[in-house]
Amino acid sequence: MSKPSKIYFSRPHVTAREIELVTSAIASRRLSGDGDFTRACESKLSTLVGAPVLLTNSGTAALDMAAMLAGLKPGDEVILPSFTFSSTANAVVLRGAVPVFVDVDPGTLNIDPRRTAEAVTPRTRAIFVVHYAGVGADMDAIGAIATQHRLLVLEDAAQALGASYRGRPLGTFGDFAGVSFHDTKNVTSGEGGCLIVNRAGRLGEAEVAREKGTNRKAFFRGEVDKYTWVDVGSSYVPSELNAAFLLAQLERLDEINRERVGQWERYMAALAPLQGTGLLRVPHVPPECVHNGHLFYLLLADARAQSDFIAFMRTREITTPFHYVPLHSAPAGRRYGRVHGSMAVTEDIWQRLVRLPIYPGLGADQDRVLDAIQAWVAAR
């Protein structure tokens, strides 16, 4: 019997349109950023979320900008989940501020509002929420805590483009939000991201931070007659090559998200009935959240089941990775951060979580994934 083909966990969806637009960017000889392709992407994204958007060279860069624009200073504290990517906490640490890790809600794996409220001190400046798997954090509760204590809200919406909470797009609840276009995300430019500027009147500052601290953008609009260094910033502008690729992806955002959501629902329909075995649990999406099919995970019984599942799936050439090692227990998390309260949920779930293949073009291979899961369950 020949070996079955490998099923990846994630694959970018590429068509002739990406090649056409990148070719056209090359032909234009305008390769640096903020040209027609960048503006076209920003305009599409801005229409989608209903707020000003600046393209950045990564999701991480957008989160760094968000922390910079929040005016975080050494000694300030920012409350965030431990179950997230390093970038969320790095953005805080790069400002000299202290990440204060709290536990997540066992249903959504998003920041737990009760733990968040308990973690507020006189030094707290902001709450940094993450919308894990493109499912919104509890923004009603987080918004109430932020209002009560006059805190800023920052959103790591890296996984959340096209998802909403009570009908409002994720990425529009915080003062600033970062989205990622890394090639594991729903739409991609290889590496890329964008900053959503929800704070009225702060777009100018964001433009300066993004352009190495200069007022270059204002200069090109004819608002100043020379451009110069006006504030702190860095190089966060992506190349037109990346923007051209991204534009082709954004043209298909609805199509891509629809296909992913279709696969997500298929996993849900097939796997939710297996919860009765006690061997696995499927994701929980609160009724106020519309997700974007970014990822479908399973929570297995324990750490042994996780490694056993991953190894079993690998024998069938199916990639089902685990996810974050909690930041509070990571070497840098211990050095730069602090924990508030019990981390019981985080410490439990990361050892039991596996992610299933989901991407446009997965097609009939989804049957192979489902068959393999059925076989794994049956063998237990």
Ligand X SMILES: *Cc1c(COP(=O)(O)O)cnc(C)c1O
Q: How many residues touch ligand X (CB under 6 A)?
A: 14
We find the least distance from the C-beta atom of residue 265 to ligand X, in angstroms, to be 22
Place of tokens 């501020």: 97
Select the span of 23-31, 70-78, 153-161, 225-233 touching ligand X (CB under 6 A).
Answer: 153-161
User: What are the angstrom distances between the C-alpha of 188 and each of 24, 76, 143, 148, 185?
Assistant: 18, 33, 30, 37, 6
Residue 66-95 contact track with ligand X, rule CB under 6 A, x = bound: ------------------xx-xx-------
Name which position in 180, 186, 263, 292 contacts ligand X (CB under 6 A).
180
**Stretch in the footprint of ligand X (CB under 6 A) among 2-10, 56-64, 145-153, 239-247:** 56-64
CA distance linking residue 131 with residue 111, whole number of Å: 9
- Nearest approach in angstroms of CB 246 to ligand X is 12
Q: Give the CA angle between residues 162, 55, 78 to the nearest 5°.
A: 75
Residue length of the chain: 380
Segment lying near ligand X (by CB under 6 A), choices 40-48, 57-65, 96-104, 277-285: 57-65
Backbone CA torsion sign across 139, 142, 145, 146: negative
Choose which of 38, 82, 108, 159 interacts with ligand X (CB under 6 A): 159
Instruction: Give the separation between CA 297 and CA 104, rounded to whole angstroms.
Output: 16
User: What SS3 class is residue 209?
Assistant: helix
Applying CB under 6 A, among 58, 124, 189, 346 the residue interacting with ligand X is 58
- Residue 108 interacts with ligand X (CB under 6 A): yes or no: no
Binding window for ligand X (CB under 6 A); candidates: 141-149, 155-163, 219-227, 240-248: 155-163
User: What is the residue type of 117?
Assistant: A
CA 84 to chain CA centroid, nearest Å: 9
- Interacting residue ranges for ligand X, rule: CB under 6 A: 58-60, 84-85, 87-88, 130, 156, 158-159, 180, 182, 193
